[in-house]
Amino acid sequence: MTRAGIAIALAIFALLFAAPAHAAPDACAVLARQVDGAGQGAVFVASYPTATDKALKHVAFLYDNAAAALALTGCGDMAHAALIGDAILAALDHDRFWKDGRLRNGYLAGPAANPVTLAGWREGAHWAEDGYQAGSDTGNLAWAMLALLGLYQHGAGDKYRQGALRLAMYVEKSSDAPGFAGGSFGGEPTPQHNSWKSTEHNIDLAAAFTRLAEATQDLHWMLRANQAHALVAAMWDKRCGCFAAGTGLDGRTPNHFLALDAQLWPLLALPGGVVRYGAAIKTARNKMMVGDGFTYSEAGEAVWTEGTAQAALLASLMHQQAQASRLLAVVERARAPDGSYFAADRDTDTGFRLDTDPAQPRRYFHLPHLGALAWAALAQRRFNPFTGKNALP
């Protein structure tokens, strides 16, 4: 065989065997496909597209959709990110009752209607809705702020900054220094006030208020960011190198239960977090690893895909590429048949209770999950949703 013939044969061999013939699409492509599948125009995307349970079927949780919009921004797919962003703006403008700048925790998946619709189910002659979905957690509103600010900062238009500003003006009503209270539970006209404070919520708010201060050049929002950061700092326990999950109903007494996001997110979201709170990584590894992945909390028994992707992103941004690659391999094992990702490798308790029924545990299921897909995309693209960049704060 001539040299030219050998070169051609080697090239053909490389094309045939360098990658699987049916390699899974990257998470960005799957996200775009799910947005397209949700309908035309401004859309909310189903959080659990295969769910059959009445409380999860056809539900688009605000957090999952905000995370998806941020992931699409990190993918460079502003067109699909804006479709979710526009649904968030529609929900701000066209709630069936509230006109004060709040959003709900969950909506009906699909095109945004006027008024924007909540998911629910028929019980005899009555229509029922989930009290959590009808309420407004401050952390979820912070994620919506981050999603809108991501669109604004990547050139999608000032309407997204204005939407984030409206949300911030509502959220600051939950001010309870140090930090911010949990928000509200239940539907109109008199939802229940959540007096507890969540470490995770206040991490989210610290990042969102910081981004808003940058977008508006208004130091008022930096003061609010510092207020949220103060609650997070108050939940730090040097003895265990860990963060408490938040407070009890008094808004002061720490709840020392360990949740994974409360350990990892301060390092992703807060300036100097890796230096100041780096011990939380060791605690997370010691207390919340299942096999070679991470679980939701110290009570978890299953690999939580979303949290494992969060740990992979953190490792990557800390330039620990070997660790990041190992964790991404765990995430890839959670692929669902449609190319997205299962929420967990099996049904599992989180260690928390349902707000709608405190006798029941809050659970993650072995179902394809939009939040898991979004965080897989964020980890693959090394895009930090808290900073809007491929970097730590």
Q: Which of 1-5, 259-263, 295-299 has the highest mean pLDDT?
A: 259-263
| Lowest mean pLDDT segment, chosen from 20-29, 49-58, 187-196 | 20-29
Residues 6+ apart with CB under 8 A from 264: 280, 281, 284, 307, 310, 311, 314
Burial class (CB in 10 A: 0-12, 13-18, 19+), 53: exposed
Q: Which residue has the higher pLDDT, 8 or 237?
A: 237
Share of the chain above pLDDT 90, in %: 87
Question: Does residue 20 carry a pLDDT above 50?
Answer: no
Q: What is the pLDDT of residues 305-324, one digit of tens each?
A: 999 999 999 999 999 999 99
In this prediction, residue 171 carries a pLDDT of 98
Sign, CA torsion 143/84/91/188: negative
In DSSP terms, 121 is beta-bridged to 128
In this prediction, residue 350 carries a pLDDT of 75
What average pLDDT does the segment 270-298 reach?
96
Give the C-alpha separation, 48 to 42, whole Å.
19
In this prediction, residue 347 carries a pLDDT of 85
In this prediction, residue 358 carries a pLDDT of 74
pLDDT confidence of 209, banded at 50, 70, 90?
very high
Question: Does residue 369 carry a pLDDT above 70?
Answer: yes
Packed helices 62-74 and 78-93: angle between N→C axes, nearest 10 degrees: 150
pLDDT confidence of 13, banded at 50, 70, 90?
very low
Q: What is the pLDDT of residues 39-69, one digit of tens each?
A: 999 999 999 999 999 999 999 999 999 999 9
pLDDT confidence of 23, banded at 50, 70, 90?
low
Burial class (CB in 10 A: 0-12, 13-18, 19+), 158: exposed
- Mean residue pLDDT of the chain comes to 93
Q: What is the CATH class of 20-381?
A: mainly alpha
Residue-range domain boundaries for the chain: 20-381
Structure tokens at 15: 């094309």
Q: What is the pLDDT of residues 78-136, one digit of tens each?
A: 999 999 999 999 999 999 999 999 999 999 999 999 999 999 999 989 999 999 999 99
Instruction: Decide if 149 contacts 164 (C-beta within 8 A).
Output: yes
Question: Does residue 17 carry a pLDDT above 70?
Answer: no
Question: Does residue 33 carry a pLDDT above 50?
Answer: yes
In this prediction, residue 25 carries a pLDDT of 79
What average pLDDT does the segment 3-19 reach?
43
Structure tokens at 267: 């390092």
